[in-house]
Amino acid sequence: MPPRPQAFTNLAEEKSRKSPKPSNSPSKGRNVSQQPGQLTFVAPRRAKPARHLADLSMADRRAAVTELGEKAFRADQLSRHYFERHTADVGAMTDLPAAAREKLSALLPTLLTPVKELTTDGGTTRKTLWRLFDGALVESVLMRYPDRVTMCVSSQAGCGMNCPFCATGQAGLTRNMSTAEIVEQVVSGARALAAGEVPGGPGRVSNIVFMGMGEPLANYKQVIGAVRRIVEPAPHGLGISARGVTVSTVGLVPAIGKLADEGLPVTLALSLHAPDDELRDTLVPINTRWKVAEVLDAAWSYAARTKRRISIEYALIKDINDQEWRADLLGKLVRNKLVHVNLIPLNPTPGSKWTASRPEDERAFVRRLEFHGVPVTVRDTRGREIDGACGQLAAAE
């Protein structure tokens, strides 16, 4: 675990001492576009990014290639270059005639432009800030471990779910990302790994977590498209095992039901953060629509359908949700289920009056859950010092 950045924590505590009025919003001085508790489901209407190969199923790619005046099999060739070799430069596709390259380049527009790259952990954690075609900013994080490489990707520019402890939630929703914009984050990581740019030698992406900016299930169609491109074998897609893909949600109950019907055995992570409606209504405002009992029911149905263990995400916030009685209540709600509880020490966002739990409270919380026989881990906080840890992705330049 990387050392805790002392200056960062002190700043958060300093501000809280000066701010006597309790408030749900930890984002003083920042561009707050949502009132506390306000939810935004429908993304603002905006110009759409250009159509890209990764937006399309293989059948649609063949049709698109034909429309461009090329033989349908060129779609397979192009797909191999993109999904297997991670090449988007048609100039390098020497198996294609020059005239074909020119035409087919229309299916590989540049969607993401890197603005900033920050690394830590000796280069094995790297966060990239991307600019989209319309100036919207999103971030992705690559984390290399001895046995796997996980990429944390964004699914929306901003987020409409307004969780008061989350940096992304404070800025509101700019727009939904397209399938290809989501996939491109993974392809760029895969490219860097294959080229040996990440310490540890050439490697592959093994895990994808939809835990960057945005609420994936509020951008359902594009996210499902991206999951399909990620798991389909080459040349259709990247061929990453669905078991390595995690979709994280605040708990959009109808969309959880739909996801269960997709036949994609991805892991569902549920950002619970409180076991009681009273507190969860404020920490995860979507709870005012779908209560703890409803969202847990949806999660158990998901587990029954997919046979995948539900990951319950719980950010431990000092003196807010870390009491032993809440651990007990959580334990009772989830015991004997196909579940794993992931405790995340809160990453304080700039200006937040909230901070991570005391170590002794964290330990007590773990013990109570273990008492109920619930599998529990405390998540590592990789990337914290580059603001790349959970909930810190704010895309400020």
Enzyme catalytic residues: 139, 390
**Closest CB 182 distance from ligand SAH, rounded Å:** 13
Cα separation, 286 vs 42, in Å, equals 14
Count of residues that interact with ligand SAH, criterion CB under 6 A = 19
Contacts of 48 (CB under 8 A, 6+ apart): 178
**Closest CB 55 distance from ligand SAH, rounded Å:** 22
**DSSP structural state of residue 286:** G
The closest residue (CB) to ligand SAH is: 391
**Closest CB 159 distance from ligand SAH, rounded Å:** 6
Positive or negative: CA dihedral 276, 281, 286, 288: positive
Binding ligand SAH (rule: CB under 6 A), the pick from 27, 128, 391, 395 is 391
Contacts of 42 (CB under 8 A, 6+ apart): none
Cα separation, 312 vs 342, in Å, equals 6
Q: Any contact of residue 185 with ligand SAH (CB under 6 A)?
A: no
Q: Any contact of residue 347 with ligand SAH (CB under 6 A)?
A: yes
Stretch that binds ligand SAH, among 70-78, 124-132, 174-182, 342-350 (CB under 6 A): 342-350
Tokens of 187: 């392809």
- Draw the binding track, 146-175, toward ligand SAH (x: CB under 6 A; -: no contact): -------------x-x-x-xx---------
Residue that has been written with the tokens 């009772």 in this structure = 332
Residues of span 253-312 touching ligand SAH by CB under 6 A? 271
Binding ligand SAH (rule: CB under 6 A), the pick from 75, 157, 315, 395 is 315
Cα radius of gyration (the chain): 21
Query: What pairing do the DSSP bridges indicate for beta strands 137-144 and 125-131?
Result: antiparallel
Contacts of 117 (CB under 8 A, 6+ apart): 126, 127, 128, 129
β-bridge mates for residue 117, sequence order: 128
Q: Any contact of residue 334 with ligand SAH (CB under 6 A)?
A: no
For ligand SAH, which is the closer residue by CB, 186 or 211? 211
Cα separation, 214 vs 140, in Å, equals 11
Q: Any contact of residue 55 with ligand SAH (CB under 6 A)?
A: no
Q: Any contact of residue 220 with ligand SAH (CB under 6 A)?
A: no
Binding stretches for ligand SAH (CB under 6 A): 159, 161, 163, 165-166, 211, 215, 248-250, 271, 313, 315, 344, 346-347, 349, 390-391
